Copies of this chain bind each other. A is one copy, B any other.
Amino acid sequence: MGRYQEMTTQELENELEQMKQEYRSYQKMDLRLDMSRGKPCTEQLDLSMGMMDALNSQVDLTCEDGTDCRNYGGLSGIEEAKVLIGDMMENHPDNIIIYGNSSLNVMYDTLSRAMLRGVMGSTPWSKLEKPKFLCPVPGYDRHFSMTEYFGIEMIPVPMNQEGPDMDMVERLVAEDGLIKGIWCVPKYSNPSGLTYSERTVRRFARLKPAANDFRIFWDNAYGIHHLYDDKQDYIPDILAECKRAGNPDMVYKFASTSKVTFPGSGIAALATSQNNLVDIKKQLSQQTIGHDKVNQLRHVRFFKDIHGMIQHMQRHAEILRPKFKAVDSALEKNLAGLGVGEWSKPNGGYFIMFNTLPGCAKEVVLRAKKAGVTMTEAGATWPYHEDPHDSDIRIAPTYPPLEDLKIAAELFTLCVRIVSAEKILEERTAETGNAEE
């Protein structure tokens, strides 16, 4: 079959009729499938059950430095957790604070602190007329809704194959001192799955922002979340790059073990410069006496070291590869050459990005929903949920069982074909109508 745009109206109407018939048969299956969130599946969670045995009542819960993990204290985390997470993040343990169970919470607290108290002595952002953030799009919906919650204006920056449009980023941050930050998911990005180029990372490190309290919010959520052993994306460490570029304090780097061990029961961390750490600890010591050191120790005892963690991630990959492959196969089989959409082929992470013809994404998601397949809401990957092209759909293949996923992916492609055909026919009618006027 050729491109939809090149089919005759009759051919397209026949195609549409056939697709709709197929769609109705899916509807009869009473499906309840979910491709909406980047959640690990049960088999992935099972990989970490051994962590529940890492500590027991007979085990000494004392750190190497003599700290009793059961008691108060340890604001920045236990040393052995900093070493492990330091290896994971590719940062020195001294640059790390271990937090609680959620890197999202760390990002929120980081924004909240800047809003109320500024950054290293700057004017609190809440006292400014209009603080702004650059938001590479498509991006992570929770970043955007959090930013909106704080009343920070979001400026979309388009992503290309190398990452955000750096010409635009460089220009905007240099021009506008009210631009205080930028959200980045640099590796296996949410939602495209693509990775910033080395050049992009270095250009980030060399930014010359007008605001001296401008910070890069570098959410390296998928740093070790490869799908393959032989095809792995690589990015330079942004802290080291910023230091070399004379911008040592310009970045907050976030990560967690949420998609390594258990989401919600992992450990999150922030890596940043000593100056930023001093600034942060002033606030953090008001907020808490310390995070969960027993859980930090549990992670360390379970993985032993970064090699243990990497082997663990290979087992995750074994579970996830067939799922990403299943979705990609369905997309290839049912959509290749039709000219009705493009999609990413990531080497890691949790998502595949699908781009419909302009104006089709919302309708595709709605159609899928009506047949029992939940996708991430169309538009969610844009600030204020406003995708100007109504084209971006995030596919999250990790959670459903493989057999369900295959069905969901088939149905999804069917919805794309139906909505695309309808759209093209509609446009032809409109054109004819216009011609007749």
Contacts and interface: CB of A to CB of B under 8 A. Distances in A.
Contact of A73 (B61, B70, B264): B264
Interface string A28-58: 0000000001011010010011101101110
Contacts of A283: 149
Contact of A262 (B71, B104, B291): B71
A264 B286 contact: no
B55 A287 contact: no
A334 interface: no
Interface string A132-146: 000000000010011
12 contacts: A45-B70, A52-B59, A70-B262, A71-B263, A72-B258, A100-B100, A102-B289, A109-B287, A146-B286, A264-B291, A264-B294, A265-B293
Contacts of A61: 52
Interface residues of A, number: 55
Nearest to A291: B101
B45 A71 contact: yes
The complex is assembled from copies of this chain, and their number is: 2
Given A53-B57, A126-B116, A263 B289 contact: yes
A287 B104 contact: yes
B108 A287 contact: yes
A264 B287 contact: no
A52 B57 contact: yes
B264 A105 contact: no
Given A70-B264, A100-B292, A286-B146, A50 B45 contact: no
Contacts of A126: 116, 124, 126
A282 to B, nearest CB: 8
Contact of A264 (B116, B150, B290): B290
B71 A40 contact: yes
Interface of A: 37, 39-40, 42, 45, 48-50, 52-53, 55-57, 59, 61, 68-74, 100-102, 104-105, 108-109, 112, 115-116, 124, 126, 142, 145-146, 149-150, 258, 262-265, 283, 286-295
A263 B116 CA distance: 28
Contacts of A149: 283, 286
Nearest to A50: B57
Contacts of A290: 102, 264
Contacts of A105: 287-288
Contacts of A146: 286-287
A112 B108 CA distance: 11
A359 to B, nearest CB: 30
Contacts of A59: 52
Contacts of A57: 49-50, 52-53
A45 B72 contact: no
B292 A116 contact: no
Contacts of A293: 264-265
Contacts of A289: 102, 104, 142, 263-264
A40 B68 CA distance: 11
A108 B145 contact: no
A406 B293 CA distance: 31
Most chain B CB neighbours (cut-off 10 Å) among A37, A69, A115, A116: A116
A47 to B, nearest CB: 10
B145 A263 contact: no
